A and B are shown apart, each in its own frame.
Chain A
Amino acid sequence: MTMLALIILAPLLAGLAALVLRRAPEAIALAGAGLGFVAAMALLAGIVSGGTMQLVLPGLPQMPLRLVATPLTAVISAMVATVAACVLIYAVGYMRSDPEKPRFFGILLLFVAAMQALVLAGDWITVLAAWELIGFSSYLLIGFWHGRDGVPGAAMRAFLYTRSADLGLYLGIFVLIGWAGTSEISATLDITGTPALVAGLLLLVGAMGKSAQVPLQDWLQRAMAGPTPVSALLHSATLVAAGAILLIRVAPMLPSVALLAVGLVGGITAVVTGLIALAERDLKRLLAASTSSQYGLMLLAIGAGVPVAALLHLIAHAAIKSTLFLGAGVFQHDRDSTDMEAVAGAGRTRPLILAAFGLAGLALAGIPPLAGFFSKDAILAAALAAPGAIWLAPLALAGTVLTGAYMARALRVLWRGEAQPVSGKGMGWMSAGIAVLTALAAGLGFAFAPLEHLLGAELPPEGAAMILGLAAALSGLVLGWFVAPSRLMGPVLPMAQRGFAVAGGMDGLVLRPALAVAATCEGFERRLLAAQLGLVRVLGLGTASRAERSDNRLYAATLQVGRMNLRLGNGAETTDTHGIDGLIFGLVARTIAAGRRLRLLQSGLIHRELALTVMGIAVIAAVLLTVPILS
Chain B
Amino acid sequence: MILELMIALSVGAGLFGIGLYGALSQTNLVMIVMGVELILAAALVNLVAFWRYLHPDEPAGQMFVLIVMAVMAVEMAVGFAIAIARFRVRGSVEMEEARELKG
A touches B in complex, CB < 8 A: yes
Q: List residues of A whose CB falls within 8 A of some B CB.
A: 599-607, 610-611, 614
- Inter-chain contact A601/B24, CB cutoff 8 Å: no
- Of the candidates A604, A606, A611, the one having the most CB atoms from chain B within 10 angstroms of its own CB is A606
| A606 near B98: Cβ-Cβ < 8 Å | yes
Measured between beta carbons, the chain B residues less than 8 angstroms from A603 are 99, 102-103
B32 near A: Cβ within 8 Å?
Answer: yes
The reply to whether B102 and A607 form a contact with Cβ atoms under 8 Å apart is no
* B15 sits at the interface (CB 8 A): no
Q: Report, nearest first, the 8 A-B pairs whose CB atoms are least far apart.
A: A602-B103, A604-B102, A604-B101, A606-B95, A599-B103, A604-B99, A611-B24, A610-B24
Contact of B24 with A614 in the complex, beta carbons under 8 Å: yes
Q: Please, how many angstroms separate the alpha-carbon atoms of A212 and B96 in the complex?
A: 144
Residue B30, interface by CB 8 Å? no
Indicate if the CB atoms of B99 and A605 lie closer than 8 Å. yes
B65 CB–A CB distance under 8 Å: no
What's the nearest-Cβ distance from chain A to residue B27, in Å?
7
Counted as pairs of residues, one from A and one from B, with CB atoms less than 8 Å apart, the total is 36
| B95 with A601: CB separation less than 8 A | no
Find chain A residues with CB under 8 A from B9 CB: none
Chain B contacts for A607, CB-based, 8 A: 24-27, 95-96
In the complex, A565 Cα to B20 Cα: how many Å? 70
29 pairs across A/B with beta carbons < 8 Å?
A: A599-B103, A601-B103, A602-B101, A602-B102, A602-B103, A603-B99, A603-B102, A603-B103, A604-B98, A604-B99, A604-B100, A604-B102, A604-B103, A605-B95, A605-B96, A605-B98, A605-B99, A605-B102, A606-B29, A606-B98, A607-B24, A607-B25, A607-B26, A607-B27, A607-B95, A610-B23, A611-B24, A614-B20, A614-B24
Chain A residues, Cβ within 8 Å of B101: 602, 604
0/1 interface trace, chain B 21-51, chain A, CB 8 Å (1 if under): 0011111010010000000000000000000
Using CB atoms, name the residue of chain B closest to A598.
B103
Closest partner residue, chain A, to B98 (CB atom): A606
Residues of chain A lying within 8 A (CB to CB) of residue B20: 614
Cα distance A323–B23 in the bound complex, in angstroms: 149
Complexed CA–CA distance, A600 and B102 (Å): 8
Contacts of B23 in A (CB 8 A): 610
Interface residues of B in 53-94 (CB under 8 A from A): none
Q: In the complex, A241 Cα to B101 Cα: how many Å?
A: 130
- A364 nearest CB across to chain B (Å): 140
Whether A610 touches B103, Cβ cut-off 8 Å, given contacts A604-B98, A605-B96, is no
Residue in B closest to A599 when the chains form the complex, CB atoms:
B103
Residues of B within 8 A of A604 (CB): 98-103
Centre residue among A601, A604, A611 by max chain B CB count within 10 A: A604
Complex Cα–Cα for A158 and B66 (A): 136
What is the minimal beta-carbon distance from B18 to any residue of chain A, in angstroms?
14
Cα-based distance from A600 to B103 in the complex (angstroms): 7
CA distance A50 to B20 in the complex (A): 146
Are A610 and B102 in contact, with the CB atoms below 8 A? no
Closest Cβ neighbor of A611 among chain B residues: B24
Which of B27, B96, B101 has its CB near the most chain A CB atoms (within 10 A)? Answer: B101
- Provide the bound-state CA to CA distance between A106 and B99, in Å: 117
CB distance from A628 to the nearest CB of B (A): 18
Closest to B35 in A: A610
Of A603, A604, A610, A611, most B-chain CB atoms within 10 Å: A610
Alpha-carbon gap, A610 to B96, bound state (A) = 13
